[in-house]
Amino acid sequence: AIEVLEEAKPWWEADGDLDEAIDHLEYYAREALALASPKELLSLPGEYNDYRYQPRGVAAIISPWNFPLAIPCGMTTAALVAGNTVILKPAGPAPLIAARLVDILRRAGAPPGVAQFLPGPGGAVGATLVEHPDVDLIAFTGSREVGLWIVEKAGQTNEGQRGVKKVIAEMGGKNAIIVDDDVDLDQAVLGIVKSAFSYAGQKCSACSRVIALDAIYDRLVSRVVEATRSLRVGPAEDPATFVPPVITAEAKAGIERYIEIGRGEASLLFQGEAPRDG
């Protein structure tokens, strides 16, 4: 319900996000058990050698708003079960669900001070975490621009820093679906439309290009247009909604800008009507 309210996630999308968060909890718990056991190495007479993993220290988790529970849950719990302390800095539009996640972790037994919640503007709070000498590990999901900036800053060793910062960065994509001429059109159309327009396409995994062979092109385009025409646009709290509002007015303006670019470079085959209330 928080995701429906805060991120305008349709109910079925929010349910999927919760399911994925649960999967992360189980996966990382099992991985922690596997990694906790020392691995015996080659030992010479009179000695014993093994390999053990050690925590890195303080982990800064900088999470996105489009999967506001699953992704921060995965990044945070992975760091915690490996013995690190965590500072979770959620994306600006997604503080409530992240706060609930940290509250759940604390009630589940995370020791005092081990899981911290630090909301705020990315340019101020996020940048401070990235450059702080006491932060040892940065896990980031977001734009390519910000991700590359983090990689660059983490490569600079600041005064008082204990070691070289480790960065795990998942950044944006430009995803294509390739359609061959022997395709099952029903499956292809369904896959394209769901990938491109579920949650208004606000996913790094969303289809943003379709590459089709000439023999199938015209039939595919016609079917995709008609399937898109049938999609329900509306408020996230309506269970019938397939395409909800985008996350911010800035995001809406960016989409409209790209529509105008498309008009100048290609043909606009279909444009739906936005609800009167926005």
Give SS3 for 275. coil
Give SS3 for 163. coil
In the set 20, 131, 170, 237, the catalytic residue is 170
- Annotated active-site residue 73? The verdict is no
- Annotated active-site residue 170? The verdict is yes
Residue with tokens 């070691």: 163
Helices 95-107, 70-81: axis angle to 10 degrees equals 40
What residues are paired with 207 via a beta bridge?
A: 175
In the set 6, 13, 73, 204, the catalytic residue is 204
- Judge contact between 68 and 94, C-beta under 8 A: yes
State which amino acid sits at residue 185: L
E strands, 163-255, are 166-170, 175-179, 207-212
- The whole-angstrom separation of Cα 228 and Cα 110 is 46
Give SS3 for 215. helix
Residues labelled catalytic: 170, 204
